[in-house]
Amino acid sequence: MSETDVSTLIAKPSPAEERFISAFKTLGTDASRLRSFEAFAKKGLPHRRIENWRWSDLRAALKTSGVQGNSIRDVFAEIAGPTFTFSAQGVKTPNAQPEGLNWSEELLETSFVASEDLPMAALTAALCENSRVLRIEISADQSLPVRLVIDANASDMFSRIELNVREGVKATIVESHFNQGGFSSTVIEYNVEKNASVERVIYQSANETAVQVVTTNVRLSGDSEFTQSALAKGAKLCRLETRVDHQVEGAKAVINAAYLLDDGRHVDVTSHVRHSAGHCETAQVTKGAVKKGGKGAFQGKFYVARDAQKTDAAMAHNALLLEDGAEVNAKPELEIYADDVQCAHGNTAGSLDEDALFYMRQRGIPLVTAKAMLTQSFIAEGLATISDDALREILEEEANQWLMTSL
């Protein structure tokens, strides 16, 4: 395909899309990139009339270009462990290489196939520079967490990471997703082999002009375990999308999150869990607390295939509207084709219990502290499954700091 053809793939491109087209041209047109770009181009940047993006209008959010803001404080900075940092400069890899941890700065051809279902993953596959591609292989238990830091500035930044956790191996992956004010899209693939166990802990924080998309694809083999817990503080627009596929019997997934949103912040916690094989479990709890002017969205879907008997899957999203003018939208969905399964979903939105607040104040606890305590306990469940005490306490403390200064 010639350059002129690429330019015509998107009808009436927006300024951001024009930026993507010219970026694509500079990268050279290998077949895989072209396929990905075509997949993206079919619908272009997702917007609110695309069902799966109705509460996250990326096209509108990218109308203005990035503004450089302050750097973001990494709450995990003190956590020791091999660290991979993605930034405008490319990938910085660890100085020392622990046993059982290998990496290369290229992906295999068999890697993630971009699809129209995941337009931002497709765009990322098309535009990710070779300097921000990383393939990690963990083939022995790691005593320290492996850290991924994705730190974008005001320029567009695309990153691709593939993590392969080999059979029977236990690993903790700590991810920091930062954006100082531009547009970033990150695609992460987790391949969790038989009997392997992965704990994934995520902290997301961005400046208020940032537009941030993190798309994760998780493949679970037999009897593997994957436990994900995220604390998200949102951005101008932030989409954290997680896709999990239970491919072989006996896999267990936990996908939890807590989000805390100030005025002008948005977060969209989207997940799609596919039970392809039977006898697998999914437990999902998402908790949110939103102030006036904050916008939270939750989209959760469980898909249970015909053969996935004895699936056990439960989904809950509970949001706390801390003030008038806070907004939360939710769409929990179950699509079940097997007949012997346990699937449940629940969704609530409400405000703090006034009676409880008065009770606490009557005991001498100031209103702000009372609100913070109740909110903290409300969102705690979203972080409760983090088994590493130090990591959990860091996120709990970060949540508490936000509550004490924001309420």
Partner 1 sequence: MLALNDLVARVENENGEGKEIIKGLSLNVPAGEVHAIMGPNGAGKSTLSYVLTGRDGYEVTSGSASLNDEDLLEMDPEERAAKGLYLSFQYPLEIPGVPVMTFVRTAMNAQRKMRGEDEISAPEFLKKARELAKVLKIQPDMLKRPLNVGFSGGEKKRLEIFQAMMLEPNFLILDETDSGLDIDALRIVSEGVNALRSENRGMLVITHYQRLLDHIKPDKVHVLAAGQIIKTGGPELALRLEKEGYDGVLAEANA
Rounded Cα distance between 40 and 45, Å, is 8
Rounded Cα distance between 121 and 187, Å, is 6
201 in Cβ contact with 227 (< 8 Å): no
Which range touches partner 1 (CB under 8 A), out of 97-105, 267-275, 336-344, 349-357?
Answer: 349-357
Which range touches partner 1 (CB under 8 A), out of 8-16, 24-32, 95-103, 371-379?
Answer: 371-379
**Closest distance to partner 1 from the beta carbon of 381 (Å):** 9
Give the residue, chosen from 28, 70, 364, 389, that forms a contact with partner 1 under the rule CB under 8 A. Answer: 364
> Quick one: 124 or 375, whose CB is closer to partner 1?
375
Rounded Cα distance between 349 and 296, Å, is 11
> Quick one: 16 or 258, whose CB is closer to partner 1?
258
Q: Does 397 bind partner 1 (CB under 8 A)?
A: no
Q: Give the distance from CA 191 to its chain's centroid.
A: 16
**Closest distance to partner 1 from the beta carbon of 329 (Å):** 25
Give the residue, chosen from 360, 383, 394, 395, that forms a contact with partner 1 under the rule CB under 8 A. Answer: 360
Size of the site for partner 1 (CB under 8 A): 21
> Quick one: 23 or 365, whose CB is closer to partner 1?
365
**Closest distance to partner 1 from the beta carbon of 201 (Å):** 21
Give the residue, chosen from 263, 373, 385, 404, that forms a contact with partner 1 under the rule CB under 8 A. Answer: 373
Q: Is 310 exposed, middle or buried (0-12, 13-18, 19+ CB in 10 A)?
A: middle
Interaction with partner 1 in 150-209: which residues (CB under 8 A)? none
Which range touches partner 1 (CB under 8 A), out of 24-32, 198-206, 341-349, 374-382?
Answer: 374-382
Q: Does 361 bind partner 1 (CB under 8 A)?
A: yes
> Quick one: 273 or 383, whose CB is closer to partner 1?
383
DSSP string for 19-59: HHHHHHHHT---HHHHHHHHHHHTT-S--TTSGGGTT--HH
What six digits make up the tokens of 223?
A: 């009897």
Give the residue, chosen from 126, 202, 289, 374, that forms a contact with partner 1 under the rule CB under 8 A. Answer: 374
Q: Does 26 bind partner 1 (CB under 8 A)?
A: no
Q: Does 378 bind partner 1 (CB under 8 A)?
A: yes
Q: What are phi and psi of 52, to 5 degrees?
A: -75, -5
User: C-alpha angle with apex 211: 207 to 216, nearest 5 degrees?
Assistant: 115
> Quick one: 27 or 380, whose CB is closer to partner 1?
380
Which range touches partner 1 (CB under 8 A), out of 52-60, 189-197, 267-275, 362-370?
Answer: 362-370
298 in Cβ contact with 238 (< 8 Å): no
User: C-alpha angle with apex 229: 318 to 119, nearest 5 degrees?
Assistant: 85
**Closest distance to partner 1 from the beta carbon of 301 (Å):** 29
Q: Does 344 bind partner 1 (CB under 8 A)?
A: no
Q: What are phi and psi of 204, to 5 degrees?
A: -120, 130
**Closest distance to partner 1 from the beta carbon of 316 (Å):** 15
Which range touches partner 1 (CB under 8 A), out of 128-136, 146-154, 173-181, 350-358?
Answer: 350-358
375 in Cβ contact with 362 (< 8 Å): no
255 in Cβ contact with 282 (< 8 Å): yes
Which range touches partner 1 (CB under 8 A), out of 21-29, 77-85, 189-197, 361-369?
Answer: 361-369
Give buried/exposed letters for 134-164 (b at 16+ CB in 10 A, else e): bbbbbbeebeebbbbbbbbbbebbbbbbbbb
Give the residue, chosen from 15, 325, 350, 366, that forms a contact with partner 1 under the rule CB under 8 A. Answer: 366
Give the residue, chosen from 26, 78, 363, 389, that forms a contact with partner 1 under the rule CB under 8 A. Answer: 363
Closest to 199 in 3D by CA, of 155, 255, 150, 249: 255
Q: Does 355 bind partner 1 (CB under 8 A)?
A: yes
Rounded Cα distance between 105 and 113, Å, is 18
Rounded Cα distance between 81 and 302, Å, is 34
Rounded Cα distance between 356 and 371, Å, is 9
> Quick one: 346 or 366, whose CB is closer to partner 1?
366
Binding site for partner 1 (CB under 8 A): 353-356, 358-367, 369, 373-374, 376-378, 380
